[in-house]
Chains A and B, each alone.
Chain A
């Protein structure tokens, strides 16, 4: 899902940064300065979790976990996913540095927004329905990110439309798998430690 440097037009890159900067600033302002270690360790856990590969037929896909990050951290997930994106760009070359703003808007922002909404929603409904919300948030976030990726590529150049279509449809199975995974993850967490989901 990461976009590499050099693919997008300067206008799209600029728009990405124009949205990402204020969003990141709000997220950072909301973080507690004395809890940087907590965010760092959790970011590392999400980074490690997203490297898990699941075999799908002859191919293999890796988890994204931005929806779950949003459910657990709320608005703070934006910073955590941003750190993950930056480290991926620096160390393993997945995604670029100049397009980091676009990648933040595409991957971190939907996760944070959906997660914050999901946390509010979970407080208002019964215990049995919470995993379904988790599933919706987990899978829905991937679909939103894939749609944003499609729009980003199509607005850059018409020649990138075949790539955009392929990437979008390639993410549909990922969204389904992540939806099922999020269902069981929320089911597990509300049994073991529901405070992580912001519910008692």
Chain B
């Protein structure tokens, strides 16, 4: 018999689900505190990307090499190095004030590449033949084309976000509580784990945080509640700073940890715990394991409360927490009582369930009549493609 964790009317959920998790997108009211959290988080995320925003670009015309930054300012004083196929330096020179370098004539060796380097980590290269014949003006180099694309992106993005934020719209991003949705979410998580390029990771982190702030806003409340995890990230980062290798590894590692943690929080907040169990069951995860997880989640608040009461009772009798033998003996007694009580409660629950006909499988409570969350699946598919493109394709093909 198939087991489901669909809820009947009036039955309380194991873990309170967000409204967005059940009825699609439903925005909680924004207050100043939430806005501040979003603002601070966005600033922190965008700060590191500043380093990558100022790119160096090369072009050539009439036997001259032009080097400009992405804001069209000339890269004056940049070091130009001409190398052959084996990487042996043939000529080393600097660009003039206008960022121009005239190609020398009568070179005996066979130059292959021209490498232009600027302080601040700017490094780019161009093929010698390309410089000789001149670079052609690309489609995106025309100002009119750029303006048209900008208007289209802004207009289209605005239209998309407007519909995305409207709960009545057909474009609302309902939770992907389907097999494909779960697989795509796990694919994104796995892909993030395999990513080693800082730029890709920052891009993914930006997409994740934008998605969280637009669609699953409750994520920020969860992050605030689980902020203790950040101590581990800081601790890891601090220990990495001790070695040279660690210092170069730290930005990638911390960004990756943050992105993966954030994506996990989005998953549990967006889809909801019970629906995750339901989809895991559809994915043929053993039902025994699913049932134990469900039981644990249901009994956790009860036993935590009982433990608190036991410790409070001990404290009222003068017991103190510490690592002295007597204190540890008291604590062991408390934990022993908790375990005994839990075993007794477990036996009672088992008897009660057997008397109601339980034989290891739950009856089907409700059919899975949810609509297919097309928009969410499309988003997840595109995001998974972006992440896995970053994993599979070499970095220069994508971003250089």
Q: Is the CB of A45 within 8 A of B339?
A: yes
A45-B350 contact, Cβ under 8 Å, with A6-B253, A31-B288, A188-B332 = no
Q: Is the interface of B mostly helix, strand, loop or mixed?
A: helix
Nearest chain A residue, comparing its CB with the CB of B265: A93
**Contact between chains at A42 and B293 (CB < 8 Å):** no
Q: Is the CB of A4 within 8 A of B233?
A: yes
The CA-CA distance from A33 to B260 in the complex, in Å, is: 34
A92 CB–B CB distance under 8 Å = yes
A7 vs B229: C-alpha distance in the bound complex, in angstroms? 14
Partner of B288, one of A36, A51, A92, A183: A36
B189 touches A180 (CB 8 A): no
Checking B246, B253, B295, B336 against A36 with a beta-carbon cut-off of 8 angstroms, the contacting residue is B295
Chain A contacts of B333 at CB under 8 A?
Answer: 184, 188
Segment of A81-89, A104-112, A113-121, A143-151 engaged in the interface with chain B:
A81-89
Contact of A41 among B192, B253, B346 (CB under 8 A): B346
A37–B264 CB distance below 8 A: no
Interface string of B258-270 (1 = CB under 8 A from A): 0111001100100
A contacts with B: majority SS: helix
B399 CB to nearest chain A CB (Å): 20
Contact A5–B189 (Cβ < 8 Å): yes
Residues of A within 8 A of B256 (CB): 5-6
Let me know if B360 and A79 touch, CB within 8 A. Answer: no
| B-contacting residues, A141-192, CB 8 Å | 157-163, 166, 173, 177, 180-185, 187-189, 192
**Assembly CA distance A157 to B359 (angstroms):** 49
B355 at the interface (CB under 8 A from A): no
Asked if A196 is at the interface (CB within 8 A of a chain B CB), the reply is: yes
Whether the pair A96, B260 counts as a contact (CB closer than 8 A) is yes
- A-binding residues in B (CB < 8 A): 15, 186, 189-190, 192-194, 226, 228-229, 232-233, 235-236, 239-240, 242-243, 245-246, 248-249, 253, 256-257, 259-261, 264-265, 268, 273, 276, 286, 288-289, 291-300, 302-304, 306-307, 311, 321-323, 325, 328-329, 331-333, 335-336, 338-343, 345-347, 349-350, 353-354, 358-361
> Can you list 5 residue pairs at the A/B interface with Cβ under 8 Å?
A4-B229, A40-B346, A41-B303, A44-B298, A87-B293
